[in-house]
Amino acid sequence: MKRLVFLTGTRADFGKLKSLIEIASKTNEFEVYIFATGMHLSAIHGYTVEEIEKCGYKNIEKFINHTEQCTMDQILAKTIQGFSAFVQKLKPDLIIIHGDRVEALAGAITGALNNILVAHIEGGEISGTIDELIRHAVSKMSHIHFVANETAKKRLIQMGELNENIFVIGSPDIDAMLSPNLPSLQDVKERYEIDFSNYAIVMFHPVTTEVEQMPAYAKQFVDVLVEQDNNMVVIFPNNDLGYNFIIDEYDRLKEKKNIKIFPSIRFEYFIVLLKYAQYIIGNSSAGIREAPYYGVPTINIGTRQKNRALSTEIINCGYDTKSISAAISFAKTGTFNKIDLFGDGNSDKLFIEIIRKESFWSIQKQKQFNEVDLTHA
């Protein structure tokens, strides 16, 4: 029996890994382990490891990677130390990581240096800030790639990755979005005590490469929210450097009756809220990836998602209050179409079909660089 380890550091990447964890756990061929770290062990962000535990998974390893300074390099180093100790004990056959977080980079480095196959979910994408550098570094340290679309595959080939080790399966979070087993909107509202009939979703994360400007960005953003009279569901930012500036500004919203603030919302419940939202505002990838599937308007603020696969239905604006206010007005009145860019909701089935093949397990741990002919570039 092959041992699979899924490394998760945030509520977002767990939501994207969950359908793959589920389908692998239900087979007799794979023994599934989850290494939970990062935001999952943070009380400020809702201690979301409890949501993982509620899923009933048997093998959950918890590791606190927070450091006193909370700098990304120190978190990376501590995660490598903890994850390395875990894999030395477990000796897994495959490490599965997602996206562009430092936890994913720690997983890729640990696997590569310990001669363990590493599979990266959703590599080959571009975005703004430090995330893009981390994502590409993770791809280069990984042996296998499960990507969202052909565009991402082409980028990985451009980066020297082997065509035969790149598998297009779509984005696994679409599996959950299109699932018939999602809770009803009424169930979601009752669970989180949301009594609004209409509402917008707010998700604003720090931009690590612009951390010195984050106090001003956060203030300007909340200045606009304070003046809005429509209902809003506000979800805390991730734990990247500068998140405290945003949370401090959110204190100004606590007394407003039209706004409810949450450290975190369970992924399946979040996507139901998103489906019925008037719009989503901030700089979260949920506005780039999930919202267009539902035809929900996205107000994308600033540079965090710069160069990401952007739908024409997304409203991009700057950090200044005038731009944000104008974007909100447009989101309330515009017409927006559903856009499908990231698969058909069957990523889990494609994933399990691939890893069941004997040829998958013969993929070489010694990577080779794939030379691309740039003569006519």
pLDDT in tens, 246-277: 999 999 999 999 999 999 999 999 999 999 99
8 with 47, same domain: the answer is yes
Contacts with 289 (C-beta within 8 Å, 6 or more apart), sequence order: 171, 173, 341, 342
Of the candidates 63, 19, 55, 56, which has an alpha carbon nearest to the alpha carbon of residue 38?
Answer: 63
Residue ranges making up the domain that contains 246? 185-333
The DSSP call for residue 183 is P
pLDDT in tens, 144-153: 999 999 999 9
- Under DSSP, the state recorded for 30 is E
Question: 256 in a domain, yes or no?
Answer: yes
In a domain, 58, yes or no: yes
**What pLDDT does residue 118 have?**
98
The answer to whether the CB of 194 falls within 8 A of the CB of 174 is no
| Mean per-residue pLDDT, 226-239 | 95
Domain count, the chain: 2
| Per-residue pLDDT tens over the stretch 194-227 | 999 899 999 999 998 899 999 999 999 999 999 9
Q: Could you tell me if 25 and 85 lie in one domain?
A: yes
Regarding whether 309 and 245 lie in a shared domain, the answer is yes
65 and 155 both lie in a single domain: yes
CATH number, domain at 84?
Answer: 3.40.50.2000
pLDDT of residue 293: 85
Q: 214 and 153 in one domain?
A: no
**pLDDT given for residue 376 in this prediction:** 59
Q: What is the pLDDT of residues 308-347, one digit of tens each?
A: 656 667 899 999 999 999 999 999 987 777 776 688 889 9
Same domain, 23 and 167: yes
